[in-house]
Structure 1
Amino acid sequence: MNILIIGPSWVGDMVMSQSLYTTLKQKHPEATIDVLAPAWCKPILERMPEVNQAIEMPIGHGAFNLAGRWALGRELKSSNYTHAYVLPNSAKSALIPLFAGIPCRTGWKGEFRYGLLNDLRADRKIFQYMVERYVSLAYSPNDMLEQVKLANCPRPRLNVDKQTQQLTLQKLKLNLERPAIGLCPGAEFGPAKRWPDKYYAQIAHQVIEKGQQVWLFGGAKDREVTDAIRNALPTEHQQYCHNLAGETSLIEAVDTLAACHTVVSNDSGLMHVSAAVGCNIVALYGSSSPKYTPPLSERVEIVHTDISCRPCFKRECPLGHLDCLNKLMPDTVMASINKFIG
């Protein structure tokens, strides 16, 4: 088998998709797996031993660009792929394997994909978890229901480059004299996934009091939040709180997260990265649900409120109160953290 994967565009989804690649390699050890994905994914894919190469998707997320997809498909035709697995649900994501002349094209029924995919699976909702929906594509339609259960899905495992990790820690002026607790207060999806920064600040205060240090993770757009968390701490505690938001590349964040003892995170891409590098995870859920995208690790504490309006899966609270997050109190989260740090 010579396989082309049309990969997802979100960090967390890309990490979870590794479970499909692992399953394909287990079933077909001699298979070659290439993944077509946005350029930012390449460093993540290079940490997946199952992946032969990451191919940069030159067409922006959301752009149709039929001519560009045709040209890319014809370019890929020379690779003689035998199978394609299309993970996004859009029609446009299924065009490139068709234009590349790939004989077997597998994916879930989505928008207008009849004819584009010739191994079309009817209803992805027969599987509760996203990772199950990915892994099931490695099996025939007759076998997938019997074979695929969350407990049997391979867990994502990103390789950690110890040398690169040490260089990154030196660059960021970090050390492990105190055990590091990672806090990931951002969420690309929207505010209905973001636990309040004032609550994160209380967690930072308590773990520093207990003899830990805090590393704050995120992108440049999370800097305002991470600054607020650090500035809320007493002056004497700020030396033990390191604001890394916007200071690392994605792959540097992977290696730095791997050095953390425990990570506290919203339901975000960094939560899935933390699980894939072996951290203890305290996962905070607001509008989303661990019954769909849980961190795929055995060392997880999942925390959420039980108010009747969650999960709504909205980017912003439709009721305007964000009670699913505001009523998730720091003491509850700290109790989960203490299960890992004592």
Structure 2
Amino acid sequence: MKAAYKNILVINLMHIGDLMLVTPVLRTLRSNYPKARLTLLADRKLGDLVAYNPHIDDCILLDKKGEDNHPLSFLHFVQKVRKHHFDLAVNLHRNERASALAAFSGASKIVGYSKPLFSFFFDRVLPNKKAVMHQIHSHFEVLEKTGLIDHIDDGGLEMELPPGAMERAKRIFAEHFPAGKKVIALNIGASWRTKRWLDGYFAEVADHFLRRDYGIAFFGGPMDTALVEACIEKMEEKASPHLHVFTGKLSLGELAGMLKQCVLFITTDSGPMHVGVAMRVPIVTMFGASPVPGFYPYDERDVLIKTPVGCHPCGKHDCPLPGEENMKCMKTMPPEVIIKYAEELLAKYETEAGHLPRAESYVCRVIDLQKEEG
């Protein structure tokens, strides 16, 4: 029988996708502790993703690279956390800063992932099994093995948009695309170079769908601007009035609102991919360096193309292979493969764009090119 915790802290200081993968945990904790006060501690710049989550009561935001990025400021932040008098802290981010925040949170019970230096302060430390199971399932295992929950309430990825974000997104969409235009979203950036599909391949895909009279919308953060520009330079249909670039121009809330209006999302393994899952837009994604079990798009409607190369998943940020072998994982997933499965999803779901119900299953379809070639 689980204890009756009344004041619960969940910590995750990772990037966009990692934070989105915590949302099923928030639903599950709320389902198990309906009367508890539930607080999430996250990176301030990602506040749009979680601040309005219906399953939490409060959101504490840490300015990782700003005002809280100093030893003295961090100590003040720890004191701020301790003033909440949490009786349970669940750490779902295994790095020094998150581990320290959990360890010194003052919570009566502390569980989750931890660096060895801080594990002494934890009541129970568990491994992150993202290499062998989905990251969400590893998080659920933390809750189960520490006796925190009686049941799992998995509603998939969830994101409640900040006030006004959807209205702004609709206005931006209408300013760029005519009414009724079916738009395909592209995200070509990723935190690792080894997660990025070739820009020339993306150019071929964009050209194909523009010729089929779809609109094309490029998304991504400011760091992706040069990648998008290089991609567009390789396009034959770059002058199309139905090609628009929103890279680096949207808040996370606006990005989510824009994706919700698209009929399909073709994307790398990236944070925006998981935002797209939460917005229930059908997805085609390509996995090279990433482990499929840990981070596949969490929706049965989505399609993941798995590279056929033997070194997958390397988990490396840069490909060590020389010459033509460099980035061969991405080179061996040609545009015609992505187009094939994109066409399949469009035929099945494009008329339901923006209105797809919650998935019944969260295991996406995996296309293993190694098996297909064999």
TM-score by length of 1: 0.89
String of CA shifts for 1:168-214, please: whole Å, max 9, x gaps: 342462335321100000002x2111001111011111111222111
Correspondence 1:80 to 2:85: yes
Q: Check if 1:167 corresponds to 2:168.
A: yes
Please say which of residues 14-23 and 159-168 is displaced more in the overlay. 159-168
The aligned counterpart of 1:284 is 286
Unaligned runs of 5+ in 1: none
1:153 Cα deviation after fit: 4.2
Aligned equivalents of 2:163 and 2:128: distance in 1?
42
Answering whether residue 335 of structure 2 is matched by residue 330 of structure 1, we say: yes
Separation of aligned partners in 1, 2:162 and 2:96: 37
Please say if residues 310 and 324 of structure 1, whose CA atoms lie closer than 8 Å, have aligned partners that are also in contact. Answer: yes
Number of equivalenced pairs: 336
Farther-moved stretch of structure 1 (4-13 vs 331-340): 4-13
CA apart distance, 1:67: 4.1
In 2: Cα distance, 1:109 partner to 1:94 partner = 5
Aligned to 2:104: 99
Q: AA paired with 1:264? A: I
Partner residue, 1:312 = 314
* Post-superposition CA distance 1:236-278 (Å, at most 9, x none): 7521111111111222111111111110000000001100110
8 Å CA contact 1:180–1:261 kept in 2: the answer is yes
Question: Partner of 1:21: helix, strand, or coil?
Answer: helix
Which residues in structure 2 correspond to 1:13-162 (within 5 Å)?
13-60=18-65, 66-121=71-126, 124=129, 128-141=133-146, 153-160=154-161
Amino acid paired to 1:35: L
Aligned CA-pair RMSD: 2.6
Q: 1:181 aligns with which of 181, 184, 187?
A: 184
The code of the aligned residue for 2:59 comes to: A
Amino acid at match of 1:133: S
| Contact kept? 1:3, 1:83, Cα under 8 Å | yes
Letter in 1 for 2:341: S
3-state DSSP class of the match of 2:60?
A: strand
Distance 1:3 1:147, change over 3 A: closer
Amino acid at match of 2:58: Q
How far has the Cα of 1:35 moved from its partner?
Answer: 1.4
Offset at residue 147 of structure 1 (A): 7.1
The structure-2 alpha-carbon separation of the partners of 1:225 and 1:100, relative to structure 1 and needing over 3 Å to count, comes to closer
Counterpart amino acid of residue 189 in structure 2 = G
Cα 1:339–1:110, aligned 2, differ >3 Å: closer, same or farther? same
The aligned amino acid for 1:21 is L
| In 1, Cα distance between equivalents of 2:162 and 2:271 | 20
Q: Does structure 2 conserve the Cα–Cα contact (< 8 Å) formed by 1:84 and 1:105?
A: yes
Call closer, same or farther: CA 1:101–1:164 in 2, change over 3 Å: closer
Distance 1:162 1:205, change over 3 A: farther
Distance 1:208 1:110, change over 3 A: same
Q: Structure 2 vs 1, CA of residues 171 and 178 (structure 1 numbering), >3 Å: closer, same or farther?
A: closer
Cα distance 1:98–1:215, how it changes in 2: closer, same or farther (>3 A)? same
Q: Against the structure 1 CA distance between its residues 221 and 124, is the aligned structure 2 distance closer, same or farther, given a 3 Å change threshold?
A: closer
Deviation readout 1:13-72 (Å, 9 max, x if unpaired):
0000111111111111122221122111211112421122221214439x9855444332
- Determine helix, strand or coil for the equivalent of 2:292: coil
8 Å Cα contact 1:20-1:135 kept in structure 2: yes
**Structure 1 counterpart of 2:190, one-letter code:** A
Task: Report if the CA contact (8 A) 1:83-1:102 is conserved.
Answer: yes
